[in-house]
Amino acid sequence: MALGAHAPLILINFKTYLEATGKRSVELSRLIENIGKDIGVDVAVAPQFCDIAHVAAQVEIPIFAQHIDPVTPGAATGHVLGDSVKAAGATGTLLNHSERLMLLSNLDRSVKLARELGLVSVVCAGNTDSASAASLLCPDMVAIEPPELIGSGRAVSKEQPGVVTESVKAIRRVNQSIKILCGAGVSSGDDVYAALKLGAQGVLVASALVKSAHPVEVIKDFCNGARRFQEDPR
């Protein structure tokens, strides 16, 4: 399934949680895909590298790698090759997550490599200045994620709404076409709705869903929050 140009996107990062490792990554991806289709919201997943091919064989939703290194095929032992994640079935990649920060020069090269390979690039940014700088690299998406709120259960869209609105303004001053995501602490459909109301076009989520004892209810809640915005975007 292609990423919608305008529809809100819910991108779920599996990180390295055991709840989304191996067979569980496939099961969770199927669940996310089915609920997204039922409610009519764009969803995507970012499994671990070893799970990309297994997930891609079972679902049609977009799959993101969690990172690619700024290397080309050849002598780069231990690096994550963009060509490799694409061959495994990824359609995009996260870059510069707070748990995998990159030097600006390396980030620039990875964004360019992703573009050359036809991979959708999502650059994570921890504050407004970083979001503005990231937009200069012309990735496909920028995800605003204050690191202190990641995994906290306290959504940036409610705790620090000004960071979202100011980042949206800063990005738009540089680039009008970048899709803007909002992450860090997003835990409910209300959080998703609040992020979209602040000008984001989607959310990047992780532990609230992946580590939940009731993932079906959580992804339904997320999707319903996005759907509510679709039906009443004012």
Confidence at 163, pLDDT banded by 50, 70, 90 = confident
Reported in sequence order, the residue ranges of 105-175 that DSSP labels E, i.e. its strands, are 120-125, 141-144
Residue 150 has pLDDT above 70, yes or no: no
Catalytic residue among 54, 97, 217, 231: 97
Residue listed under structure tokens 């809100």: 8
Q: What domains appear along the chain, each with residue ranges and CATH number?
A: 9-231 (3.20.20.70)
Q: What is the mean pLDDT of residues 47-67?
A: 98
The helix (run of H) or strand (run of E) holding residue 202 is strand 202-205
In this model, does residue 205 exceed pLDDT 50? yes
Catalytic annotation present for 97: yes
pLDDT at 1: 42
Answer for the pair 185, 152: CB distance below 8 angstroms, yes or no: yes
5 is written with which tokens?
């140009």
Distance in angstroms (rounded) separating the CA atoms of residues 139 and 159: 26
**Quick one: which of 144, 156, 225 has its CA closest to 190?**
225
Q: Residue 20 corresponds to which amino acid?
A: A
The predicted pLDDT at position 162 comes to 80
Catalytic residue among 19, 79, 116, 145: 145
| Chain position carrying tokens 């990875």 | 110
Neighbours of 188 (CB within 10 A): 17
DSSP assignment, residue 50?
A: G
